[in-house]
Structure formats: structure tokens, C-alpha cells
Structure 1
Amino acid sequence: MTMIPFLIGIPVVLAVLFPFVRDSKTRGYLVYAGAGIVMTATVVFIVSWISGGAQTWMLYQSTETVDHLMTAGDIFLMCLIVYMSVKYKRVLPVLLSVGQTALLLYTEFTVELPEGPHMTVDWMTILMCIIIAFIGGFICIYTVGYMKGYHEHHKDVKDRQPFFFSMLFLFLGAMFGLVFSQSLIWMYFFWEITSVISFLMIGYTKTEEAVNNSFCALWMNLLGGLGFAAGIAWMAYMNGTVQLLDVLSVGGEVPLLCLALAGLTKSAQLPFSTWLLGAMVAPTPSSALLHSATMVKAGVYLLIRLSPAFEGNLTGIIVSSIGGLTFIMASMMAIAQNDGKKVLAFSTVSNLGLIVGCAGIGVEETVWAAIFLMIFHSVSKSMLFQSVGATENTLGSRDIEDMHGLIIRVPKLAYIMGIGIAGMYLAPFGMLISKWVALKAFVDSGNFILVLFIAYGSATTMFYWTKWLAKLLCFHIPRETVKDVTRKDEYVSMFFHAAVMLLLCLLLPFVAMWIVNPIVRELFGNSTDVLAMSVLETMAIMLVSIFIVPVVMFFISRRSHRELVPIYMNGINEGDNRYFTNSYGEKEHLYLSNWYLRFEFGRRHLRIPSIIAAAAVLVLGFCLVIGGAL
């Protein structure tokens, strides 16, 4: 019990210290020590919980002092948002922030709520703690080296690294608080902290684009926060409770849909996907930590918690429909992108859509798939964002076309990127296994629209990942020598992620048996395993093939030392297989480029229709749910 305040408090204390540490070397040591302490404390906490019987803990019944501090914190966050909005002349964030804070405070001071547990610890909490501590901790370590290279390449951006590290560690503390919270009021407090941190980090460079994108992220997340506050108010007035578990048992569809709105906005589902796509202007570590591996997982975490209440009702249909639509539309738009971070952004939105769709169905099989997707997505996307950031610092570009033959030019980065890409879509990596389980569950549920979404969405996913992987593996004469400027701390984090990805695949049956199945049992209250162990053992035999991708990449890089013979290009080869003299004596340039289908799948063609369709589903759903309740 005493470890929970420690896990939340240590990152917060470190966040307070960073502004006073101006020496970059000292700051780096502080980051290493802080990340190590957080990871060690998490391991100690998990071991103590398991040794205590791995039973659900319901903690902190009487917390009047902490409640008052959180109320003051809510007011402070509102004042900060109002100040920043007035400074940049934005009205909507002011209205949303003041409205939801006033609603929450009015509810707290006018409704007498019974004392209840404010925090809980179960298998779902343990899983999220592992993701926050280890994925988040190693991203912080990666950031030490990355930010040095970032500011060497971006001389026009003011160096505010102390602020950047403060926000990273404050975010870790807020995420720990969020996943431990059983009280919706406590969860709301930490939820809003993550929204404000995201806003501040997206605007790190203070360019016009960064400021605009940061406010887009802010108002969309505040809209979800308003839904969160409305759900709390409904539960307090109608049911006399603000416990998350009570939403599942006695809440009804109105608070369920209000909380689902918060989850949809935080996980960047249509029609709210724009904020996450715009968040890519921030430095890569914030993209890896906040906008791919951890913060957006807060949204799907809440939806998975609520998933048993979604089965067979209108709210579940709304959530699953928006998730499925987001999955296929974002996946289609990713085809037309050649910027590596944009591909990762659309892919993140797409995969979050699949997780949301699974949670919306609300049965054991789909939730099992959702949890597995969340695990693999956290590791793979964190690794991919880091490798793209390191590649950008090395090549001076994150264009996929400029990564042509990266396996020859910068083999280590290509290995890491290749494993990450393979983990997203190739058999037998866990993402594909999870999709198979989800597809089977969708077929069993009779939801044929979602079956089509996952089938065609997976096909488009395969298209854009294959294009990227093939670019990395191209065997050619390099245009110029490239010096790998990636620092050791960056590689430490990336190799850790790559090792975890391979281990997750090799140990998939044990991950299912020890982590995922217990979570499903806790959520649905039965002891039925989604997949029989015989099936999982068969999968484990298949998983030997996870080494195919790295082995192939190794042999391609080894072959790069052989001398290449100039190819015949219907003219005189100039010696590098890229230029030749044609029959008219003119120089011609030969180049290879991926097919991006910008007219068919470009964002300008698909974004508006997909937003309109998702918004229509959401608005119609709210009208039907609220109308039915009244």
C-alpha cells in the first residue's frame, strides 16, 4: 500500500527537480537514476502484490485531505488552461475547461457521497504499471541522447530540455495515479493532468504550427473531459456513487456513454483523430511516450475497464462502430503517407481503433484480443517512433523514400525498425494473433460490418507496412556514406524494446496464461480461458519464425560488402546504378519509389467523410441514449 504513493510521488519529485538542473550531464544521470528507481519500485510493488496472494486490493477509504488537494489541483489546471488560452486568443478551451471544472466542483460540494475505496490494484492495474514503468522509463533514457541530436539539427528551436524532462516524468506520475484510481473523481484529476501535459509538449517548439496543433489536442481532450465530468455528475446525482465499478453494475447507459466519450477522445478515435496526427510536430520522445505507447492507452484502458457493460447495448454498438470505422479509415489514409512519423501516427490511430472496436463488443474473446493488442502495440510503436527519430537525426530526414537501403547504410537502426514493423503485421507476431482472435470473435458475434472493417483494414495495413519494410531491405550501392550519430542511451532503449518484442512472441502462451487470462477473468467473473493451451502451444511452435526477419536482414547487410556489378539500363551505366547515358547522349536518372495512391487514399479525400460519418454515429447515439433515459 505504501508503494503506491511512492510510485506516483517519485516521478513528480523528479519533475520538480529538473528545472533546477542546468548541466546536461548531471541531468542525464538524474534521468537514468529516476527511470531506474521507478522501474525497480514497480518490480518491488508487483512482487509484494503477487506474494500477498494476487488478490484485488481496494484501498484508501477516508481521504478528505487528499480530496481537498485534488480540488485545488483541478482549479489550478483550469486557471492554467484559461491563462494559456487567453494568451493565444483561444475561446473554446476556456469554455470547456471552465464548464467541466464548474460541473465537477458543483457535484462534489452539493452531493453527499458515501466513503468508498479510492484506489484499486488488480491484474489490469499491474499490466498498466509495467507499461508505464518500463516502456516509459526506457523512453526517458532514450530522450537523453535524442534531445542532444534534436537541438543540433534544430538550431532555430529554443533548448528547453529541463522543461521537457519535467513533463515526461510528471506524465509518468499522472499515469500511475490514473490506473490506480477507483474513484472517478480521482481518475478525472489525473486524466486532466495528462491532457495538459500533452498540450504543453506538443507546443514545445512554439512555432505557429505547434501552437495550433497543441490547442487542437487541448480542446478535443477537454471535450472528453467534459464527458467525463458529466458522467461523474450523473452517477453522483442518480446513483449516489462515483466508483468505477458501480458504473458497470448500476450506472446505466448515460454515464457509460459519457465516460466512453472521454475514452474515445483520449484514444484519438474519429472524429477526434486530428489531435493525435497534429501531435507529431512534437519531438519524437513525446510521440513515443504520450501519443503512442502510454497516454492514448489511458483511453483504451478506460474502455476495457467498462467493456463488460458494453455487451449487447446501444453504447457498445456506438463504441465498436466508431472503433471499426477508425481502424479501416486511418489504415487507408496511412497508405498515402511517405513521412515516417505520419505513417506511425495513422497506424497508431488505426490500431487504437481496433482495440476500441474489440472493447465495444464487450465479450471475453474481443477483450482478450484488445489486451494483447494493447501490449504489443505499446512495445512496437514505442520502438518504431524511437527508431524513426534516431534515423531522422542520422539522415536528416524521416521520409521513407530516404530510408532506401537503410539495412546497408545504418544496419542497427534498420534491424530495430524491421523488427518493429514485423511485429505490427507479420505472422506469427502477437499483433496478428490478436487480430485473428478479434476476427473470430466478430464473426461469432454476428457483427458482419466489423468483420469487413477488420478484413479490409488488415489488408491496407499489410500494404503500407510491406512498402516500408521493403524500402529498408533494398540491396543497392549507397548514394553516400552515412555516419550513425545515434547515441548509446538511444540504442539501450531501442534494443530493450526489440528484445521485449521477441520475448513477448516467444513467451506468448505464458503471457496469455499469467497476465491476459487473469485480467479477462477479473473483468467478466468466470474462469474460462479464451484460447485453449493446446492452441497456444501450437502458436509457440510457430513463433520460432520470429527470427526470420532479423536473420534475413543480417544476411542482406553481410552481402553489402560484395562488389556490385553495374546493371544494364538500356544505355551507358555511370557506375552507380542510378545514372546512365541514353542513346541521345543525355543523362537519365533512375530511381525507385513506392506507390502511395494519394488520389485514392489521400487524407484530403478521406478525412472529411470519415469525420462526418463518425460524428453522425456519435451524435445519433447520444440522442438515442439520453432520449431513452429521459
Structure 2
Amino acid sequence: MSGISFLLLFPLAVAVLLLFLKADFGRGIVVKVAAAVLCVASVYFMVRHIGGESPRYPLEAENINRIMLAIEILLGGFIFYLGVKHKKYLVSVLITLQVAISVWFEMTLGEHMEVDNYFITDKFSLIMVLIIGIIGSLICVYAVGYMRDFQHHHKELGDRRPFFFFILFVFLSAMFGIVLSNHLMWVYFFWEITTLCSFLLIGYTRTVEATNNAFRALLLNLLGGLAFAIAIPCLFILTKYKVITLEGMLQSGSAIVLLPAVLISFAGITKSAQFPFSSWLLGAMVAPTPTSALLHSSTMVKAGVYIIIRLAPILAGTMAGYSIALIGVITFLSASLIAISQRNAKKLLAYSTIANLGLIVACGGIGTFEAVWAAILLIIFHAVAKSLLFLCVGTVEHNIDSRDIEDMHGLIVKMPRITVMLVIGIAGMFLAPFGMLISKWAALKAFVDASPLIACFIAFGSAATLVFWTKWLGKLLAIRGRPKGQEDKINNTEWFTLSSLSLLTVGVCMLFPLLSEILVDPYVKGVYGTTTSMGAGNIIIMLTMMGLIFLLPLRLLFYGKDLKKVDAYLAGANTNQADEFVGALGKVQTLYMKNYYFEKYFSEKKLLGVTAYICSFLLIAMLVFGYVHQ
């Protein structure tokens, strides 16, 4: 119990300290020490709980429940005020409904609640604790140097870094609360805190665009929060005042708790930015890079897929679950196709995130043991590789003043070490034997067994991911002319974080068999009574390929050390410029190399509307099937 209390309260204490700490040097020390403590605490917590069954945590929690309700009312009042102030009246209406439901439930049915286990520390929770504690902490360390540079480039905004770091650590505390809580009222409480934190982080710069995008994120996530708030009394009443925990839902059988599970899954779909709710995650790009990395990798969106995977056994074999799976695979295919048309690196990463979350959501909707096994691996590998990619892009943007992929031409010469890390991140997302490919293989196998139709969506979506990752990779490695190096201005905190995440990306792939054996397999077997694996032969092949693939980043790192650099032969008479030549008609031509982005076929304008309509229909079908099944 002390370990759980520490993970929940320590980030809060650090957050309060950082809110009042104005000195840049002192802030850096506190963030680095706190991040190190959280990393160690997360690993220690995992080691302590990895053996045997998850212990039970009975509490006298009446006072805690009252404090949570009071905080919820205060936060609700704050959000209501913001909605009225900015004339976002639907936000005020949604938060009023949520708070009213919570207060009514606590005051009328709260006395009937009997909870003998307030926390979950099973293997799935331990995996999430590691993701939040390690990756989330590394992002905070990265933010120390990044926000210093950000402040230097945006002096007109005023120095709000104390507030920024305050929200970061509150965010981490709330995420620990979501993945460790068993009581649904507690999960909901922390869930809404992450919604508010994301709103504040996205709107950090307080520009018109940032404010509008922040309110869009708030509105869509409050819509999911309302579904969550309705699900709790619905569950309690349907089970005759017996079930109010995640553990209890799984033990009750799918029929009686399917409607509450569907409502909570609706909240998970909004939080994980599935179509038609994806716009809030795309709008988060206006925030500083640490915000994007935190939302996309270790916190906000992972809360959505976490809750759906938790409820997967209830959804398995139902039409509601199949509807969720279809939403996931359609999102995966459509977002992957749209990503092909993107030349903005952050936007490409955002669509890639939405697509991969769609794959995880689809696994949860199918709900078989194979699908859940694949989904958990996807969560692990995606969290590490995607955080690395977002932070690398943030560093590149600060140094070349652009996030346009076309401007990253020849980055291997301009920023060789950063490019190596980018290549590791990109390889981690789609190349064998890195983890995402392993996970997609497992997911495809699960879908083939459950539904060949869904497997077709996965096949075409995976082909699209191959296109946009390969295009970006080629742009990084292609050299035109003699670009100058631009790595001398990167600060130490950025180097440390990017190096650590690069090692983690490779490390989790090399340790995949161990991770599966000690964390993923026991969870799946505990829930389903059976599990799956890749087989010894496939694992040996993957590890052999991992050894060989080390040659790529090593070759890139030492590229050019012993080579003589000369101008490229451009099939004409060269000029004094390395990227110009005299053509056949005597005119000076400039070497031009550009990716093809298929805007005519895969643009947002072409695909977003139709995909949103289809997924909206499936959402309605999901809710109808959940209701009819009762």
C-alpha cells in the first residue's frame, strides 16, 4: 500500500513545489531528481509485485471518497466557469451533467457501496506503471532544456514554465491513479483530472488557435466522461448494488455488465482519439513538444486503450465488441492512408498514433486472449518508439526551424546523431524485428482467427504504414549538396532523454521474450486461463535479425568518417553550387528531390468526412447492441 501511495502522492508533492519554484536552475534539479526517483520507484514497485497473486487493498475510504467528491465539484466549477467565459456553453453543460450525476450517485447510492479491494496491481497494471514512470519521467527531463529554448524563442508568451511542470507531474499522478485503481469512482476521478490537464497543456501558449484546440479536446473528452459517469450508476443498479469495481465487472459475466462496459468503452474511444473524435489529438500539436509526446505515448491516449483492454473479456463475442473492433480497424486504415499525404512531421506522427491506437482498440473489441496479448505488446512498443520520435522531431524543429519532412533532407549529415535516433524510432515502428512489427503480426493472427474481414483492414493499413515510414526514412538519409552540421546547440537534457529512449526502443525489442514471459503471459493466462506465444523458432529468428540490424545505426553514426566528399554527378555540367548543373539547353537547373504525398487520393479532405460518418454509425450501433444485450 505504501508503494501505491508514493506513486500517487510523490508526483503531486513535486508538482506543488515546481509551481512555486521560479529559478530555472533549481527547477531543473528538482525535475531531474524527481524523474529519477519516479523511474526507480516504478521499477521497484514492479519488482515487489511481480511474484504471486495481486494483493488486496481494503480501506476505510469514506473520507477519501468525500474529499474526491469535493475536488470533483471544485474542478467542475472551474471548467464550468471557463466554458462560460470563453462562450463554450456545451462544455459547461457537459461538466454540469457529469458533476450532477456524481453527486446524486454518492448521496443516494453511496451508502450501499461495499468495496473490499480499492487497487489493482496485476501484471497489466505493472506494465502501465513502468510506461508512465519511466517514459513519462524521461519526457519531463527532456522538457527542462526544451522549455528553456521554447521560452527563448517565444518571449512574448511570458514565462509560464512553473505552471507547465506543475501540470506535467499532476498528469503523471493521475495516470498512476487510473491504472492502479479498482474502484470505478476512483478511476473516473483520475480520468477527469487527465482531461483537465490535457486541456491546460494544449492551451499553454494561450493563442487563439491553442485555446480553440484546447476546448475541442476538453469538449470531446467530456463527452466520453459523461458516458463514464452514466456507466457507474448503471452498473451498480443492474448488478443490484453489488458491483462498483473493474474486478467485479470481469467476475460478473458479460451479459449483465455489457451496457456499462460499452459506455466506459465509449469514454475510452474518445480518450484514445478514434474517429470521429480524432480532431482533439491533432489539435494538440500546437502545444510544446513535451506535451505532444506525453499525450501521444505514455499518458492521455494510453488511458483510453488501457480501459478498453481491461474490459476486453466482457466485449468478446458480442456485437457491441465487434462494432468497437470495426471502429478500431477503420480508424487504423483511414489514419494510415491520411498519414501518407502528410509532410508535417508532427502531423504524420499524430495520424500514426491514431492509427496504432485503432489497432489496439480493435484488439480490445475482438477480446480474445490472442488479441489482448497483441494489444498489450502494442501498448509497450508504441509508447517507447513514439515518445522517441516526437521528442526527436521537437529537437530537429528547434534546430532547423521547421517540422516539414521535406526540410529534413540530408539530416544524416546536418544532425547525424539525432538522425540515428530518428532512424531507430522509425525502424521501431515498422521494421522487423522491432516490436511494433511483432505486435502487428500477433494482432493479424488474432484477427484472422476471429474475423477475416477485420484482417483485411489490418493488411491494407499495414501496407500504408510501410509507405509513409519509408518515405520519411529515405528523406533523412538522402544527401543533396554539402549541408552544414547543426547539432551543436542541443542541450544535455535532450541528449540524455533521446539516448535513453533509443536504448529503450532497442532494449524492449531484445527483451521481448522476457517481457512476454514475466508480464504479458501471466496477465492473459490469469484472465483467460490460456495464453499464446510466438514460438521458440520465431523468437530466435527475431533476435538474430536484431543483432544484424545493429549494423544500420552504427554505420550511420560513423558515416563519412573515412570518406572523401565530392559533388554529385548531375548528368550535366556542374556549376559552383553543389546542387546546381547546366542542362542540355544551357540553362542552370537546381537539383530537386521531393517525396510524393498522394494528396489527390489520401488527403484529410478526401477521407476524414466519410470515415467520421462510418465510425459515428458504428458508435450508435455499439450503444444499441450494448443496450439490447441486457
Q: TM-score, normalised by structure 1?
A: 0.96
**Corresponding residue of 1:551:** 554
CA contact (8 A) 1:336 1:602 kept: yes
**Contact preservation (8 Å) 1:248, 1:309:** yes
Shift of 1:555: 4.9
Deviates more, 1:82-91 or 1:464-473: 82-91
Query: How is 1:95-110 mapped onto 2 (pairs within 5 angstroms)?
Result: 95-110=93-108
Q: 1:37 Cα deviation (Å)?
A: 1.6
Report the aligned-residue RMSD.
1.6
| Aligned equivalent of 2:204 | 204
Q: CA deviation at 1:470?
A: 0.6
- Alignment partner of 1:66 out of 64, 74, 99: 64
Distance 1:566 1:311 in 2: 58
Partner residue in 2 for 1:343:
348
Q: Secondary structure at the match of 2:155?
A: coil
SS of equivalent to 2:621 = helix
Q: Does 1:507 align with 2:511?
A: yes
Q: Say whether residues 1:541 and 2:544 are aligned partners.
A: yes
Instruction: State the aligned residue count.
Output: 623
Q: 1:617: which partner in 2? A: 618
Shift of 1:552: 3.8
The one of 455, 463, 482 aligned to 1:459? 463
- For residue 622 of structure 1, what is the amino acid of its counterpart? L
Greater mean deviation of Cα atoms: 616-625 or 414-423: 616-625
- Give the partner amino acid of 2:11: P
Are the structure 2 counterparts of residues 155 and 579 from structure 1 closer, same or farther at C-alpha, using a change threshold of 3 Å?
A: farther
CA contact (8 A) 1:290 1:296 kept: yes
What is the CA distance between 1:462 and its match in structure 2? 0.4
Matched, 1:596 2:600: no
* Mapped contact 1:333–1:603 kept (Cα < 8 A): yes
Shift of 1:83: 1.4
Q: Give the letter for the 1:104 counterpart.
A: S
Equivalent of 2:380 in 375, 381, 388: 375
Unaligned runs of 5+ in 1: none
2:295 equivalent to 1:294: no
Q: Secondary structure at the match of 1:475?
A: coil
Distance 1:435 1:515 in 2: 19
Q: Which amino acid aligns with 2:264?
A: L
1:75 pairs with 73, 91, 107, which one?
Answer: 73
Match of 1:394 in 2: 399
Q: Is the 8 A contact 1:269 1:326 kept in 2?
A: yes
Aligned-partner Cα distance in 2 for 1:402–1:457: 27
Distance 1:440-1:180 versus aligned 2 partners, 3 A rule: same
Amino acid at match of 1:184: L
Q: 1:169 to 1:552 in 2, by over 3 A?
A: same
C-alpha offsets along residues 323-360 of structure 1, whole Å, 9 cap, x if unaligned?
A: 00110000000011111100100000000001111111
Please identify, of 263-272 and 53-62, the stretch whose mean Cα deviation from structure 2 is larger: 53-62
Larger mean Cα displacement after TM superposition, 113-122 or 332-341: 113-122
Kindly provide the amino acid, as one letter, of the partner of residue 618 in structure 2: V
Q: For the Cα contact (< 8 Å) 2:142–2:493, is it kept in 1?
A: yes
Q: 1:49: Cα distance to partner?
A: 2.3
**CA spacing shift, 1:481–1:48, aligned 2, 3 Å:** closer
In structure 2, the residue matched to 1:327 is 332
**In structure 1, distance between residues paired with 2:488 and 2:456:** 43
Q: CA deviation at 1:587?
A: 3.1
Shift in CA distance, 566/430, structure 1 to aligned 2, threshold 3 Å: closer
**Deviation, structure 1 residue 574:** 1.9
What's 1:222 paired with? 222
Conservation of the 8 A alpha-carbon contact between 1:184 and 1:243: yes
Task: Tell me how far apart the structure 2 counterparts of residues 197 and 605 of structure 1 sit (CA, whole Å).
Answer: 33
Aligned to 1:152: 152
Structure 1 pair 580/565, CA: closer, same or farther in 2 (3 Å)?
A: closer
| 8 Å CA contact 1:268, 1:274 repeated in 2 | yes
- Displacement after TM superposition at 1:104 (Å): 1.8
- Partner-residue secondary structure (3-state), 2:447: helix
2:247 to 245, 248, 254: 245
Report deviation, 1:557: 4.4
Partner residue of 1:48? Answer: 48
Q: Is the 8 A contact 1:257 1:622 kept in 2?
A: yes
Give the counterpart of 1:84 among 82, 91, 104. Answer: 82
Which residue matches 1:360?
A: 365
Secondary structure, aligned partner of 1:58: coil
Distance 2:65 2:5 in 1: 15
Cα pair 1:201 1:282 within 8 Å, conserved? yes
Unaligned runs of 5+ in 2: none
CA shift, 1:461, in A, is: 0.1
CA contact (8 A) 1:566 1:576 kept: no
Picking from 531, 536, 554, the partner of 2:534 is 531
Question: Does residue 316 of structure 2 align to residue 311 of structure 1?
Answer: yes
Q: Which residue identity is paired with 1:421?
A: I
Identity across the alignment (%)? 42
Letter in 2 for 1:602: S
The answer to whether the Cα contact below 8 Å between 1:221 and 1:266 also exists between their aligned partners in 2 is yes
Instruction: For 1:628 and 1:48, locate their aligned partners in 2 and report how far apart those are by CA, in whole Å.
Output: 41
Question: Match of 1:443, as an amino acid?
Answer: V
Q: Distance in 1 between matches of 2:274 and 2:568?
A: 49
Q: Give 1:492 deviation, angstroms.
A: 0.5
| Contact in 2 for aligned 1:405/1:472 (Cα 8 Å) | yes
Counterparts of 2:319 and 2:591, CA distance in 1: 56
Letter matched to residue 332 of structure 1: L
**Structure-2 change in CA distance of 1:557 and 1:305 (3 Å):** farther
Match of 1:411 in 2: 416
